[in-house]
Chains A and B, each alone.
Chain A
Amino acid sequence: MVLRRFDSVKYILTTIGLLFSQAIALHAADFDATVQPFFTKYCLRCHDAQKQEGKFRLDTLPREFVDQGTAQRWGEVVFRLNSGEMPPKAEPQPKAEELGKIVEWLTSRIKEGEAARMAKRGPVSHYRLSRDEYSHTVLDLLGVHFDARMPGALNEDPRWHGFDRIGSMLTLSPSHVNRYFNAAETVLDQAYPIQPPQPTKNRQEAGAPNRWLIYPGLRQGNINVGAPGRYRIRVQLSALPSFKGRLARLSIWNESLKRAEVGRDVQASEDEPTIVEIETYLPRGGFQLINEAPGKLDDGPTPSMTPKTITRLKDDRPHPAAYKLFLEDGRSIFPLLLVDWLEYEGPILTAADQKKREGLFPVGQVSNLPSNPKQVENLLHEARECLARFMARAWRRPATNAEVDRSIKLIESELDTGENFRTAYFAAMTAVLTSQNFFYITEGAPTERRDRVNDWELASRLSFFLWSSMPDEELFEAARKNELHKPDVLQSQLLRMRTDRKIDRLTDSFPQQWLQLHRVGMFPPDPELYPDYDKWLEQSMILETTGFFGEVFANNLSIREFLSSDWTVMNSRLAMHYGLPIRQNAPASGATEPRNEPDASAFRLLQSGFQRRLLRPENHRGGLLTQASVLSLTSDGTRHRPVHRGVWVSEAIFGRTPPPPPPNVEPLAPTPSDKLKATIRDQLEAHATHATCASCHQKIDPLGFAFDNFDAIGRWRTSEQVTGGKGDDPPVNAAGKLSDGRAYHGAEEFKHLLVQDIDRFAEAFVEQLATYALRRVMTIDDVAQIKAIAAASRKDDYKLRTVIENLVLSDLFQKK
């Protein structure tokens, strides 16, 4: 039967192949008659063997449209012609009908090739879970927090233009397998420990009237976590802002990883201390309280001269060789924490987490095998049922009898070697979690050829899109009934899932990947030039962007807001950075913190003091493009990079990736000390006069120059700080002209030009969203459906939820 199916598939492929080989021959003649004269007249002067402008040759581009790569290139040609980008304005221009004819001919050929290209795709697609998805999935599967990003946990995922879930990028190596194995054991040990850890409560006191004085960089208190899990930490403290209004930030410092795990802004006067409560997952190890503020004070013996405890600030007579913590008028220079006591208790197991584990592990005698054969049989029967449930949930589809049998055999073979039942059952569970059925999302089957995903696959596709995790029981149920693909069922599931807290994972993860926020802080800003920059600012930058996206989603605003808005979300740290008035809006004292798990981005925003704030034109902000995260990720840590900014705008906003620079491009040299200071733009413009550079730079650079009023970490400026050269720092010139001739002066006008192109942006946005949802790069074959989704969303003013809904309900979403 299987063999016969293979034969039929072969037959279809062969038939399609034959048909297309005939078609190619027919089209070759047509190409010579229709297209070649046009290319000769308008294109080949620059794109032939001699000039190869933009490193692109049209004369050697194959004249067949079945190959995916070739079709993509022809698609690019169509786009350039359609958009008016080619031929360049200075060259002879084709008549509209000439152009229309060519575009129509090429589009038809591309479309004709689609079926053959689709047929060339394998019958099965595998998409490995990204690290974050792995963490979310084990959390939803077993209620275990596993930080897959922790050093040594899982390998870092390769990215494709910011996306870390592209199937073709996520390959598997022996080191992956090894780490999956270790991860599975860790997760299962935590879910079903031999000895369930007993929650303990510990308290440490500074010893009244003394208080721990925690200045930036200093760590106090000891939180020893013997059993990983959720811990509740309570701290009574006063928290004094700096004389500039910068809030203190109480964080939990991981001693082994040397990083703050979780923190929150706090403000409380010396006389009226408050109690801060933080609930968070902590791995095994030592933790301390830290004041996470810039200005780390840890040089030489000075910390030993600086008091660690204090009674009353006004009574303090600092040692002259200690750190200076106070101004002459007594105000604190840095944000300071004065801690009275620290309590921590855990691990705390919630009923919800416990419920996830129910029915997956036999509840009877599990350590030693019963002596009674009947009892053994019963136990193995229970194990079979538990494993079948576990496999179905972990693999996101029902397990076959053969698959369950294999697991039971594994248990039996372990028992035969003398292992106890728990160990044997664990081996089977570990095998489930280290199976490719778990860490791969599989679509299709080798024995069948279909163009659409089935309901189980659709359930996974939907849940990994919206929740970055496995489907829940209700979604499984819809798949089980084979009803999920029905538009009304799919829509109702979408609406239900949208209201679940796990939707925060989408609003957190998608903007990070779409906008390539992983690049924020990739080149740490030079502390000499940007001494104010710290980790919390970096995190706040990212939180602003994800929070902004979440706000658009929560209020179902138009994606136009991404381009331009009169509001943003901001905390005090960012307000300082943007030069806006600081609102002292630290969370109310005594408020219980939500757990710090990956799906709690909304709470992270709340605890970080983020609020929606209206903006005025003089604030120079609004939309995504002038957010510090975006402006920073396109810089190199020292200088802003207009070209990088231009490339980023081209990719994120227009969905077009410019060609890479030619090799061996000379970097911009620092301005010699005997020359006048020059802006990077001045240097670039000199650089771009070179013929080989000009063709690309004249398209890319204007997209970046618009943001020249923002420095490398996104601060507003009117002159550019230049380290070399002589004379004053030169003024910024943020004016430019788009390739279509429209001019702008500064970022605001540029953003308004983008808003005028909202349809173009919408198509690019849908493409990005589909890339994220379908875990693959969109091709020329997806263009029509992307355009259709965008066009359908236009009717509702491109509201974000509408765009998502249109994508989920589209053919594209169910296309394999």
Chain B
Amino acid sequence: MSRLRDWKICRAALAPVLELTEPDARTFRRIPGCSLLPIALVVLFFTVLAVSGSSQETDYVPQSGTFAPMEKSKYIAGELVYIDPVNRRGGIRLEGDEMGRYYSGPPHYFALLPYATVWFNGALAEIRDIPLGTHVHGYFFVPPKGEEETIPPLPEHQKPFTIKHNHVLSLEDDFSFYQRRGQVWKVVSVDADKEKIRVEPTGKTAKDGINTPYTFDIDVRTRVWKARRLSDLADVQPGATPQWNLTWAQGWGQREFRVGEIWLDDESRKHATESQRQRHVEYERQRWSPGWIDHVEEFDFGGGIVTLTLFEVDQQIIDDFRKEKDDRIAVAVAEKTLRTWFHRADRKFCKLVEWKETKNPPLGSSGIQLRLKFVELLAGYRPGACVRVKCDSWKFVSMPPEERLTSREDQKRAAKMVLPW
């Protein structure tokens, strides 16, 4: 009983350290007993001081108005087990079983940064497009200043499992993650009886994720795509070079995965990608293309010039803007969740003054900057604020009530994630 109490004390005291890296936590789990606890605590106290100091220096805090650099992020992967699609938040069951998290810890809850990109089946997506249970790869940051409470603290008994990097820059399924990095899988063998598939990576090697030969579970639940049709497991043969999406498997704690969906050939992959791309384009056309405001020049006789940058969107959306850049553009204010109010009415029209493109924009940015002239400005048009921007050719669509913000109370409530468990 006393060991259990000491264990809890240790966990609480070492929480900052645990947040650093999983090997640290693993080391701690292997402490054989707590009789050495006082010594360990003294040693660790100084370690905490030293490491936490350096941690503050190394953790990049995203700034409003600046796209967070990918190289400053932290890679985290796991199974998507919870989403709040309206507010672009979710929870990941982390892979493996560090600290016994798989057996007794909560998912890692996160919020997407406004400019975060989500990829599914090789195309841009919304988090709502990714089926629950899909294994995803994410690049995370600590919360931007002022948004530390967006993801509320875990309940007291779960606090040791806290990972402070809970704001996502990029979230991808396996299909997108490996394909976009040029890593292709090659099937080495398939054992239908044991329901195992042995694969090895070819092509380029992804820096993160699985980049060594691996054995996954595969069974009748695995959906096999060939050309544009569903196929059979029998089609999965050695020598094939598929992409897949992994999912939960019984041995998750031991980093075991099951192949949930597999695309055997180029045609099947292209079809899946195109299907998702179209879905995303329609989503953007209905909800409007997100961006944020770089600068506002107000006129005291009404209106002003707003300079904004569009977040990363599909090329087709950019082409829509490019085609109609002289026409009426509508801009609705949005929250950091990219939720709008009643955007078809709570918007202002404007005219394009200048179209500027930046080559090699940072992740999350489209590289398209627009200078827009308004006759009237909304209070939400402030530097750093998020907006959604509509092309004149897109139809006005009313969002269902649960998607839009309807009151200031609603806005306040939506500012924080409600933890499901």
Question: Which A residues are closer than 8 A to B by beta carbons?
Answer: 216, 242-244, 246, 293-297, 299-302, 305, 318-325, 327-328, 333-335, 527, 531-532, 534
Contact = CB atoms under 8 A, between A and B. Distances in A.
8 contacts: A246-B300, A294-B302, A319-B379, A321-B341, A321-B346, A333-B298, A335-B300, A527-B375
Nearest to A318: B379
B335 to A, nearest CB: 8
Interface in B350-385: 375-383, 385
A320 B378 CA distance: 7
A768 B375 CA distance: 43
Contact of B300 (A319, A323, A333, A527): A333
**Mostly helix, strand, loop or mixed at chain A's interface?**
loop
Given A305-B346, A328-B382, A319 B303 contact: no
A322 B379 contact: yes
Given A302-B346, A305-B346, A320 B302 contact: no
Given A300-B345, A301-B345, A323 B376 contact: yes
**Mostly helix, strand, loop or mixed at chain B's interface?**
loop
Contacts of A334: 300, 302
A321 B301 contact: no
B300 A320 contact: no
B298 A324 contact: yes
Contacts of B301: 246, 293-295, 531-532, 534
A322 B348 CA distance: 11
A299 B376 contact: yes
A297 B299 CA distance: 13
Given A302-B376, A531-B302, 18 more contacts: A243-B300, A293-B301, A295-B300, A295-B302, A296-B302, A299-B348, A300-B345, A300-B346, A302-B346, A318-B379, A319-B408, A320-B385, A321-B380, A324-B377, A327-B298, A334-B300, A335-B300, A532-B299
B303 A328 contact: no
B333 interface: yes
Interface of B: 298-303, 332-333, 341-342, 345-346, 348, 375-383, 385, 408
Given A301-B345, A321-B341, A327-B298, A531 B303 contact: yes
Contacts of A293: 301
Contacts of B377: 323-324, 333
Nearest to B374: A324
A323 B379 contact: yes
Contact of B378 (A294, A324, A532): A324
Given A302-B346, A320-B333, A323-B376, A244 B300 contact: yes
Nearest to B380: A320
Given A299-B348, A299-B376, A333-B298, A320 B341 contact: yes
Contacts of B300: 242-244, 246, 295, 333-335
B304 to A, nearest CB: 8
Contacts of B378: 302, 320-324
Contacts of B332: 321
B158 to A, nearest CB: 34
Contacts of A328: 382-383
Contacts of B346: 300-302, 305, 321
A190 to B, nearest CB: 39
A324 B379 contact: yes
Contacts of A319: 379, 408
A321 B298 contact: no
A687 to B, nearest CB: 30
Nearest to A317: B408
A333 to B, nearest CB: 5
A534 B299 CA distance: 14
B348 A295 contact: no
Contacts of B303: 295, 531
A538 to B, nearest CB: 14
A302 B299 CA distance: 18
Contacts of A318: 379
Nearest to A244: B300
Contacts of A531: 299, 301-303, 375
A655 B317 CA distance: 63
Nearest to A316: B379
A335 B299 CA distance: 12
A439 B160 CA distance: 97
A248 to B, nearest CB: 11
A190 B345 CA distance: 48
Nearest to A534: B301
Contact of B302 (A216, A301, A305, A321): A216
A294 B299 CA distance: 10
A716 to B, nearest CB: 18
Nearest to A300: B345
A566 B348 CA distance: 45
A319 B407 CA distance: 9
B87 to A, nearest CB: 16
Contacts of B298: 243, 324, 327, 333
Contacts of A532: 299, 301
Contacts of A299: 348, 375-376
Nearest to B408: A319
Contacts of B381: 324
A297 B376 contact: yes
Chain A CB within 10 Å, residue with most, of B302, B303, B408: B302
A14 B385 CA distance: 91
A532 B303 CA distance: 10
A244 B299 CA distance: 9
A316 to B, nearest CB: 10
A293 B380 CA distance: 22
Q: What 10 A-B pairs have minimum CB-CB distances, sorted nearest first?
A: A295-B302, A320-B380, A242-B300, A321-B346, A318-B379, A294-B301, A324-B377, A320-B333, A244-B300, A532-B301
A752 B179 CA distance: 79
A323 B378 CA distance: 4
Contacts of B333: 320-321
Nearest to A532: B301
Contacts of A327: 298
A333 B381 CA distance: 13
A327 B300 CA distance: 10
A747 B348 CA distance: 42
Contacts of B348: 299, 302
Contacts of B383: 328
B379 A321 contact: yes
Contacts of B299: 295, 531-532
A37 to B, nearest CB: 66
A116 B299 CA distance: 65
Contacts of B380: 320-321, 324
A158 B122 CA distance: 75
Contacts of A322: 378-379
Contacts of A323: 376-379
A334 B298 CA distance: 10
Contacts of B376: 295, 297, 299, 302, 323
Contacts of B345: 300-301
Nearest to B411: A320
Contact of B379 (A216, A242, A325, A534): A325
